[in-house]
Amino acid sequence: MNLSLKKRIAISFIIANVAVLVLSFVVFHFLHNLNKNIESVTTKSIRISSLTHEVRISTLQILKTQGIILVNRRPPLDTTKRLRNKLKILKTQIQQLELLNKNSQGQREITELLAYITSLEIVLKKSSAFHKDPVGFRKSIGSFFENILNVFTKLQELQDTQTIKRDEQIREIIKVTKKKMMFTLIIGFFATILLGFIVPGKIALPFKKIKDALRELQDCNFDVSIFYNQDDEIGEIAREMNKMIHSFKTFEELRMNRISLENRKFDALANMSKKPVLVASADNKIIYMNGQLYNLMRVQSEDVIGKSMNETLVPKSIIDCYKMAIKRRSKIENMKIIIPAKPKVDGEASEEQSVDIVEVEVEKDGQEKEIELQEVVFAGYANVIPIRGKESSLDYYLMILSSEMFV
């Protein structure tokens, strides 16, 4: 997919924003579920506690009414009726409590409570038994109330235990939610880091290719190209760079052809003159030497061509002559040149070379000059001719050596 650099950066920001939104939504979802679960647990627990409190109050009122029946030999006529009404209210409350305690602890105690209340209601309906056997009637009522009180006490203990479990459940819900949120945040963090490495890397890669190509161009290596097939701003730069590199390569080939042509010209001229010939550039680099000079100096082309004269075995007299020509930017005629004989190395096989012994002025300690005898392979004169280039600058200096003075 060919997208512009601007669009790719925009899409990267959109993806990052979407990732943040998704992460925020997930965290909000966890918080919402946490609130929902805690609310569900606490609402049910609060309702159970409220009903348990109502049952406790109703039980106390019933005990109070029961006390009136048990103490008085002749209790008020409406006492039994009030007791039945309060038992009815208590029964309703316990039935509501039963609905909230389905499939949980306390179900058995609630069932026992309902059974005792139902049995007590049946006994209270038989009010005539109170007159026939008041002692047995009181004893029966007292027994039922004692059982109701005992079962209710057990139920209340279970409710206290469930309250403790409810708190533990809430803590567990919070703990699990924290773990989920932490896991989500860690994933989001590493995903963001990964995205931060991938996206800049994808964007920076073509710039690195361009930088590497420019470094190769600085080293005059024109056999490079930038491969980038995206149709965006960087792709346009890469294509233009490839065109420029191709132009440089073509120019370099033309330049090398020109140098080769000039070398052939120099070679032809040098062969015609049959004298040692040397061509150097204005920056003192050797461009050409003919065979006669190679033989005199006993060097190979790779030892001198393209190198500065100071880095080669070119004699000091030739270097001084070139420096004078470059300084004057004019022709030098009949300057004395001496090429010393190359010292022989033990065991080295060499061609026979004509050697003369001549007197040479040698400078001592930069002040005095003395005459010494030296072995030389050439002692003569040199003419240096500057050759102007196309841009009116002195591109080359042509030196011709002769054992006799030029006329």
End-to-end CA distance of the chain: 77
Distance CA 305, CA 278 (A): 10
Q: Which residue has the tokens 């009181």?
A: 138
32-36, 155-159, 398-402: which is most confident: 398-402
Quote the pLDDT of residue 392.
45
Above 70 in pLDDT, residue 329?
yes
Distance of CA 21 to the CA centre of its chain: 21
Segment 47-53 mean pLDDT = 77
Query: If we measure between CA atoms, which residue out of 55, 42, 156 comes closest to residue 96?
Result: 55
- Bigger pLDDT: 29 vs 121: 29
The enclosing H or E element of 273 equals helix 233-273
pLDDT at 132: 56
- Return the percentage of the chain with pLDDT > 70, whole number: 74
Look at the pTM and tell me if it is higher than 0.75. no
Q: Judge whether residue 124 has pLDDT over 60.
A: yes
Summarize pLDDT for 258-268 with one digit per residue, the tens.
767 766 766 66
DSSP letter string, 118-152: HHHHHHHH-THHHHH-HHHHHHHHHHHHHHHHHHH
Average of per-residue pLDDT across 36-44: 74
Radius of gyration of the chain (CA): 58
pLDDT above 60: residue 18: yes
Q: Binning pLDDT at 50, 70 and 90, where does residue 274 land? A: confident
- Rounded mean pLDDT of 214-234? 73
Three-state DSSP state, 70: helix
Across 87-96, 204-213, 312-321, the highest mean pLDDT is recorded for 312-321
The contacts of residue 223 (CB under 8 Å, 6+ apart) are 249
Residue 78 — pLDDT band, cuts 50, 70, 90?
A: low
- Distance from C-alpha of 142 to C-alpha of 120, rounded to nearest angstrom: 10
* Residue with more model confidence, 42 or 104: 42
Q: Is the pLDDT of residue 311 over 80?
A: yes
Measure the CA–CA gap between 317 and 279, rounded to whole angstroms: 15
Closest CA to 267 of 232, 291, 298: 291
Tokens of 353: 């070379």
Phi and psi at 126, nearest 5°, equal -90, 70
pLDDT bin (cut points 50, 70, 90) of residue 370 is low
